[in-house]
C-alpha cells in the first residue's frame, strides 16, 4: 500500500474542507475531479458546484482556486522539511498551569529558563526514607538466585554494601535470566551486555573506594525500547526501524548512569507504543505465558514480573504503564505530566507522553523517580517540583476517594484494609460535561504527525502495527477541531484537579482516559494474594491452582507521587504480595 501520490482524493478532500467552502458533497465532488486530472481548474470547480447543488460567484471560484493552489504548494514545501523525531511542536502543553498557582519562590528550581538542570531536590536515600526502609531484612537468601532476583532496590543495595553480593554478580545473574527466559517471554530486544558488565565493575570499584552515588549504584535495570541509548538500536517496536540508532542519549538514561545504575538492555514495546505485539513476536505475561503482557510497556512489565531485572522504565500515553503492570502484577508509577523529561524518547503524542518506573516494590518506584525527575533544559514540558519521602505519613485520617461502582474486587479488599487502618472514605464523582472521547483527536493527530513520513511512503500495512486506521482518519481532521479539543482539555484539567483536591488519593475508578488527557499521576500497586483460575483443557490433569499478587490503582492530584508511593508501601506491608515471582521463574 502506498501513500506517496501527489494527488489523491483524500489529500484534495482535506484541502477543500480545510478552506471551509461548500458542503461535504461539494468537497468530495471537487476532490474526485482533482484526482482524475492531477490538477484543479476553474471549470472543475464550476462542475463540482453543480453536482453539489451549490452556487458560487465567479469571484468565489477564482478565490477558491487561488487558495487551493497556494495550500497545495505550502503542503509540498512543508513535506520537504526534515522533521526528525526529536523535533517537537512549538506549542508546549503544561496542564498543571491551569490547575495550580504555586509561587515561584516555592519551587525548588526555575524550570522556565533553559539553564543547567536543577538537581537540588533531595534523592530518596536511606536517611530520607526512614521508617519506610523497615521492609529490608535478612529475608534474602544470598545463596539462592531466585531469592536474589526477587529482591528490591533496598535489599540489593544493602547486600552490595555489606559484601553479600557484588554488582558484577548481580548483573551476571540477571543477564543469565534474561537469556534463559526470553525465548518464552519475548521481552528482550537487545541486551547491552558489555556495557552492563563495564558499569557493574565500575560500581564495585567506586563503592569499594568509598564513592557512593546512592541507592541505585550498581543496581541492574531495563529500558523500554522507545528510549534512545546510542550506539544501541532503538526500534520503537516497528519493523521499518529495527536497525535505527537514535543520535541523542535520553535524559532518563543519562540520569540513571549518573546514579550508578547498570543497564541490562532494551526491552520490547508494542509497535509504536500500542499493544504487546512487536516485529519479533508477542511479549508474554509471566503469570500466564499463554497470554500477552498487554502494552505498550510490554517488555518492561514482563521482565520485572518474572524477576529478570530489578526495575525498568516504561512510558504511558494512554494506559501503557497502568495496563501492563496490572496484567504482569507489578508496580507501575505514571508520574504527573512534566515530572520526567521525555528527551531522547520516542514521541507519540507530545501532549500526553509520560515516562515512569516499573518495579516490584513501591519504595523502588520512589527511588527511581527521585533519580530521573526534573527539568533538563531539553524537554520544554519538564519541570522541577518537590519530590521527597513523607516521613510522617499515616493512613489514619487519610481521605480515600472512590467512585461508586468503579472498584475491582481487589480494590474492595484494599478499601476494607484502609478503613480498618483509620482512613476516611469519601464518595466522589467526576463531572461529565466534557466529552472525553472527542478529545482523543489530540492523540490521533499528534501520532499521525510523528509518523507522517512513514505513512506516506510505506508500501505495507504491516509497517503501521495497529495504527493504520488512526493514521488514515487523522488526515481528515480539521485544524480548528484539534485546537478546540485542546481548549476543552483546559476545562477537563480544571474540573478533574478540583475533584482530586477533595481527597488525598482516589482508589480505583475508570478514569484512565481522563487522567491521561489531564496528565494526573497514577500508581498500580501489587498487594495481597489471589487465585488465578483458568479453565482446564480437555485431557489436562488436575493441578494446584496458581496464586498471584493482586493489583489495584491509585490516583492523586498533580505532583502527589510521594503520597502514592507512601500509600503503596503501606499496602504492601499490610497485605504482602505473594508469591513474589511466578512459579516457572523462581
- Identify the weakest region by mean pLDDT among 72-76, 90-94, 483-487: 72-76
- Average pLDDT value for residue range 334-362: 97
Mean pLDDT of 115-143: 64
Give the pLDDT confidence of 204-228 residue by residue, as tens digits. Answer: 999 999 999 999 999 999 999 999 9
Please give the grid coordinates belonging to residue 434.
466534557
Question: Taking the C-alpha atoms of 211, 213, 219 and 224 in order, what is their torsion angle to the nearest 10 degrees?
Answer: -140
Q: Which residue is listed with cell 481548474? A: 41
The pLDDT assigned to 251 comes to 98
Q: In this structure, are residues 13 and 22 in contact, taking their beta carbons and an 8 Å threshold?
A: no
Q: How far apart are CA 430 and CA 405, in angstroms?
A: 13
Q: For 397-421, what is the mean pLDDT?
A: 97
Q: Which residues contact 500 (CB under 8 A, 6 or more apart)?
A: 401, 506, 520, 555, 556, 557
Q: Cell for 2? A: 502506498
- Percentage with pLDDT > 70 across the chain: 82
Q: Which is more confident, 185 or 84?
A: 185
- For the segment 184-203, the average pLDDT, to the nearest whole number, is 98
Mean pLDDT of 327-352: 98
Q: Which residue has the cell 493504520?
A: 468
Q: What is the b/e burial string over 504-536, where b = at least 16 CB atoms within 10 angstroms of the residue's CB?
A: bbbbbbebbebbbbbbbbbbbbbbbeeeeeeee
| pLDDT band (50, 70, 90) for residue 22 | low
Give catalytic residues, as residue numbers: 224, 296, 320
For residue 524, the surrounding DSSP H or E stretch is: strand 522-531
Q: Which residues of 255-270 are buried (b: 16+ CB within 10 A; e: fewer)?
A: bbbebbbbbbbbbbbb
Cβ-Cβ contacts under 8 Å for 308 (sequence gap 6 or more): 149, 174, 177, 178, 181, 185, 187, 222, 585
Report the range out of 75-89, 132-146, 320-334, 388-402 with the highest average pLDDT. 320-334
pLDDT of residue 53: 57
Dist CA 245 CA 235 (whole Å): 8
Euclidean distance between CA atoms 62 and 409, whole angstroms: 65
136 or 183: which carries more pLDDT confidence?
A: 183
* Position 453 confidence tier, pLDDT thresholds 50, 70, 90: very high
Question: In percent, how much of the chain has pLDDT > 90?
Answer: 67
B/e letters for 394-426, b = 16+ CB within 10 Å, e = fewer, are: ebeebebbbbeeebeebbebbbebbeeeebeee
Residue 427 pLDDT level (bands cut at 50, 70, 90)? very high
Whether pLDDT at 518 is above 70:
yes
Give the mean pLDDT of 55-74. 71
**Residues forming a β-bridge with 359:** 311, 331
Whether the Cβ atoms of residue 69 and residue 15 lie closer than 8 Å to each other: no
Report, as an integer, the average pLDDT of 255-261: 97
Report helix, strand or coil for 547.
Answer: strand
Interval 82-105 mean pLDDT? 69
Whole-number pLDDT of residue 100:
61
- Specify the pLDDT at position 131: 64
Phi-psi region of 523 (alpha: psi -120 to 50; beta: other; left: phi over 0): beta
Amino acid at each position: 500500500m502506498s501513500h506517496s501520490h501527489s494527488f489523491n482524493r483524500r489529500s484534495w478532500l482535506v484541502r477543500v474542507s480545510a478552506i471551509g467552502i461548500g458542503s461535504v458533497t461539494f468537497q468530495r465532488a471537487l476532490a474526485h475531479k482533482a484526482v482524475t486530472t492531477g490538477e484543479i481548474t476553474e471549470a472543475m470547480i464550476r462542475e463540482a458546484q453543480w453536482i453539489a447543488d451549490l452556487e458560487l460567484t465567479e469571484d468565489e471560484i477564482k478565490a477558491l482556486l487561488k487558495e487551493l493552489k497556494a495550500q497545495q504548494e505550502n503542503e509540498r514545501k512543508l513535506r520537504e522539511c526534515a522533521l526528525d523525531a526529536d523535533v517537537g511542536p512549538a506549542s508546549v502543553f503544561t496542564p498543571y498551569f491551569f490547575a495550580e498557582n504555586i509561587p515561584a519562590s516555592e519551587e525548588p528550581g526555575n524550570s522556565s529558563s533553559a539553564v543547567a538542570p536543577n538537581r537540588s531536590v533531595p534523592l530518596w536515600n536511606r536517611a530520607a526514607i526512614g521508617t519506610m526502609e523497615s521492609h529490608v531484612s535478612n529475608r534474602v537468601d544470598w545463596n539462592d538466585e531466585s531469592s536474589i532476583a526477587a529482591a528490591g532496590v533496598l535489599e540489593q543495595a544493602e547486600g552490595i554494601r555489606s559484601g553479600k553480593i557484588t554488582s558484577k554478580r548481580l548483573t551476571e545473574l540477571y543477564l543469565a535470566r534474561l537469556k534463559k527466559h526470553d525465548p518464552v517471554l519475548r521481552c528482550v530486544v537487545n541486551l547491552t551486555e558489555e556495557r552492563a558488565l563495564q558499569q557493574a565493575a565500575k560500581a564495585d570499584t567506586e563503592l569499594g573506594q568509598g564513592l557512593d552515588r546512592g541507592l541505585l549504584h550498581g543496581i541492574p535495570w531495563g529500558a523500554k525500547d522507545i528510549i534512545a541509548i546510542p550506539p544501541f538500536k532503538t526500534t520503537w517496536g516497528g519493523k521499518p526501524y529495527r536497525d535505527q540508532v537514535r543520535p541523542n542519549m535520553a535524559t532518563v538514561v543519562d540520569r540513571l548512569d549518573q546514579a550508578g545504575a547498570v543497564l541490562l538492555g532494551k526491552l520490547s514495546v508494542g509497535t509504536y507504543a500500542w499493544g504487546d505485539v512487536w516485529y519479533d513476536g508477542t511479549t508474554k505475561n509471566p503469570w500466564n505465558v499463554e497470554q500477552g503482557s498487554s502494552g505498550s510497556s510490554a517488555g518492561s512489565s514482563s521482565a520485572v514480573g518474572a524477576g529478570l531485572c530489578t526495575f525498568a522504565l516504561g512510558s504511558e500515553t494512554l494506559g501503557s504503564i497502568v495496563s501492563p503492570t496490572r496484567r504482569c502484577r507489578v508496580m507501575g508509577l505514571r508520574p504527573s505530566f512534566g515530572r520526567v523529561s521525555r528527551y531522547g524518547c520516542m514521541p507519540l503524542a507530545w501532549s500526553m507522553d509520560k515516562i515512569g518506573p516499573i518495579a516490584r516494590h513501591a519504595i523502588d518506584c520512589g527511588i527511581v523517580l527521585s533519580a530521573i525527575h526534573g527539568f533538563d533544559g531539553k524537554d520544554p514540558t519538564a519541570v522541577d517540583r518537590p519530590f521527597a519521602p513523607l516521613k510522617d505519613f499515616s493512613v489514619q485520617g487519610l481521605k480515600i476517594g472512590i467512585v461508586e461502582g468503579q472498584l475491582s474486587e481487589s480494590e474492595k479488599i484494599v478499601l476494607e484494609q484502609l478503613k480498618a487502618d483509620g482512613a476516611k472514605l469519601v464518595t466522589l464523582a467526576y463531572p461529565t460535561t466534557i466529552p472525553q472521547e472527542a478529545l482523543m483527536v489530540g492523540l490521533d493527530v499528534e501520532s499521525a504527525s510523528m509518523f507522517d513520513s512513514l505513512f506516506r511512503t510505506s508500501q505495507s500495512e504491516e509497517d503501521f502495527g495497529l495504527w493504520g486506521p488512526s493514521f488514515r482518519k487523522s488526515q481528515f481532521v480539521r485544524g480548528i477541531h484539534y485546537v478546540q479539543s485542546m481548549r476543552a482539555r483546559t476545562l477537563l484539567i480544571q474540573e478533574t484537579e478540583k475533584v482530586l483536591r477533595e481527597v488525598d488519593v482516589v482508589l480505583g475508578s475508570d478514569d484512565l482516559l481522563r487522567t491521561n488527557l489531564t496528565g494526573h499521576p497514577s500508581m498500580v500497586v501489587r498487594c495481597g494474594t489471589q487465585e488465578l483460575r483458568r479453565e482446564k483443557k480437555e485431557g489436562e490433569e488436575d493441578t494446584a491452582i496458581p496464586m498471584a499478587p493482586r493489583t489495584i490503582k491509585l490516583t492523586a492530584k498533580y505532583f502527589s507521587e510521594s503520597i502514592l508511593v507512601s500509600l503503596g508501601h503501606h499496602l504492601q506491608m499490610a497485605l504482602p504480595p505473594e508469591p513474589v515471582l511466578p512459579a516457572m521463574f523462581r
